[in-house]
Amino acid sequence: MAISVSAPPAGGSTPTTLTAQRSQTSISGHIADVSGIAVEGALIQLFPSADVRSDGQYFLETRAAGTPGQFALPGINIGPMSSRRRFAGLERPERVTTSDVNGNFEIPSVLPGYYLLTAQALSSDGTTLSAGARVLDFNARSLRPEETSWKLNNVEKSAAPTPLSSPTAIVYYMTDRNPNATSTQARPLYSNDFADGSQPRYGSCVVEEAGQLRTQCQELSARVAISRAVTDQRKAPHSQLIVFAHGFNVDFTEAIRVAGALATGTHRPVFVYDWASAKTLLYTPDEDRVRGALINDGRQFIEDLADAVGVRNLVLVGHSMGARAAFQFANTVTDKHVGHGDRLAGLIFFAGDEFETTVRGGLHNLDPSPDTVLNYTSNRDIALLLSLAFHFGNQRIGADVPRIVVVDGMQTVESSRAQTDWLGHGYFTDLGLLEDLNAALDGTPPAQRTKTLAPHAGQNYFDFLSRLAK
């Protein structure tokens, strides 16, 4: 997409020499929209050792492990990249930060050398904006004064996902968010604040084909919402109900919209576990909230739903941080029902922001149905690279860095070819992946899902085959 910055580098070209000076300093700047209004929360990325050859190609080279950095936002040190990787889109950055409420950003403790600096943001309608990429010969100084203000302009929308196959879907929800001041039972509206001390609220929503809310939701009692979901489950051709747990930095509307895409793509009713994400780029508050929600309201919710629908008809799907909820739900349900011979119909992780050690250590206790624990991963997922750094390099099950997670009893599908968002994190609504998920939940082993999967040579996981390539 064509996004320009407000001023070119001084002299009009990239410097070609470096000095021997090794002192550290910071890179700082300001980002604004075309009218000059500051952009909060833009993603600023610094790629190490960006070299420019005479043919104009960018290359990214490995920086030694231990390069100065902080495991806290801003200034995350994500670690070395593979050597001499050609720059094509967004690869793995060394440092990531975000712009503050005034549009300012700073990346501290940077050594002299060549770097590639990029900036991206989202508009209110979800359009991806970008300040583009610029090569810096950084010699212990900040950006030049004429370079410190980047403007986002020439906005172009990202490629739209393939339309969903069903015109509408009804999804159900349980939320522990506070209702807004104008919220009513007939037209509920929810904030991003946790409703501390209040009972969780239940309801249903209609979602149209494009994944947007077509009508306002309505609140229902817990009993009525669960009863209607069970009725839909029994009428569904697959006789399964999906419980969907969303991830980090998601508000109520986005959680319902994504659940609608999941329902239309899988042809199964969906019940959303809508924990009160703070809808902020700060990571720790959401970690605390999803942990607290599971302890407080989540356990009762999943037990009531499992009792009503039957464990063998229950599919648990967790996206990003919601993988933690899905995994805990699986353990909660198993503790209560496994002695009676019932097993979950499915446990699905998309871009799972959960510790590998947690899943590896606890999966064998679940006794899941064969071929119905799936782990969809991607090497394009910038959000999980951030989480990896935030957790001091502890492997996330959805990240292919530093390696792809393969665990006995769990299918891993490398999904980097799927359609996704600019962070590489929202690929789970790709119709090809949902087609693969449908086949898995119908009991088709991965080796027989040849329309969507191919075994990875020499490795015990499968590669997703892009629908776009067919």
- Determine the Cα–Cα distance for residues 59 and 214; give it in Å rounded to an integer: 46
Second-level CATH architecture of 18-152: Sandwich (2.60)
Write b or e for each residue in 292-304: b if 16 or more Cβ atoms lie within 10 A of its Cβ, otherwise e: bbbebbbeebbbe
Q: Which of 46, 218, 213, 78 is nearest to 142 (CA)?
A: 46
Rg, Å, the chain Cα set: 23
Helix H or strand E segment including 256: helix 252-266
- Integer CA distances (angstroms), 150 to 52, 203, 217, 397, 457, in order: 22, 44, 40, 36, 44
| pLDDT value for 110 | 76
Give the pair of three-digit tokens for residue 429. 């609504």
Helices and strands in the chain, H and E counts: 8, 23
Q: For strands 411-414 and 85-86, give the pairing.
A: unpaired
Residue spans of the domains in the chain: they are 18-152, 168-469
- Determine the Cα–Cα distance for residues 348 and 419; give it in Å rounded to an integer: 18
Apex CA 357: angle with CA 352 and CA 358, to 5°?
Answer: 65
User: Which residue, chain included where needed, has tokens 């933690």?
Assistant: 324
Give the pair of three-digit tokens for residue 295. 């302890």
- Determine the Cα–Cα distance for residues 198 and 178; give it in Å rounded to an integer: 9
CATH code for residues 168-469: 3.40.50.1820
| pLDDT value for 130 | 65
pLDDT digits (tens), the chain, 470 positions: 222 222 223 333 332 222 334 466 777 888 887 777 888 777 777 766 555 444 444 444 333 333 332 222 222 333 333 333 333 333 456 677 778 888 888 888 777 776 777 777 766 555 556 666 666 666 545 555 556 677 775 444 434 334 444 457 899 999 999 999 899 988 899 999 988 778 899 999 988 765 566 667 999 999 999 999 999 999 888 889 999 999 988 899 989 988 998 998 888 999 999 999 887 767 778 888 887 767 767 888 999 999 999 888 999 999 999 999 999 899 888 777 655 557 788 999 999 999 999 998 888 777 666 568 999 999 888 888 778 777 877 889 999 888 899 998 899 999 988 888 767 888 888 888 999 999 999 889 999 999 999 999 878 899 999 754 44
Helical segments of 342-455, H only: 356-362, 382-390, 431-441
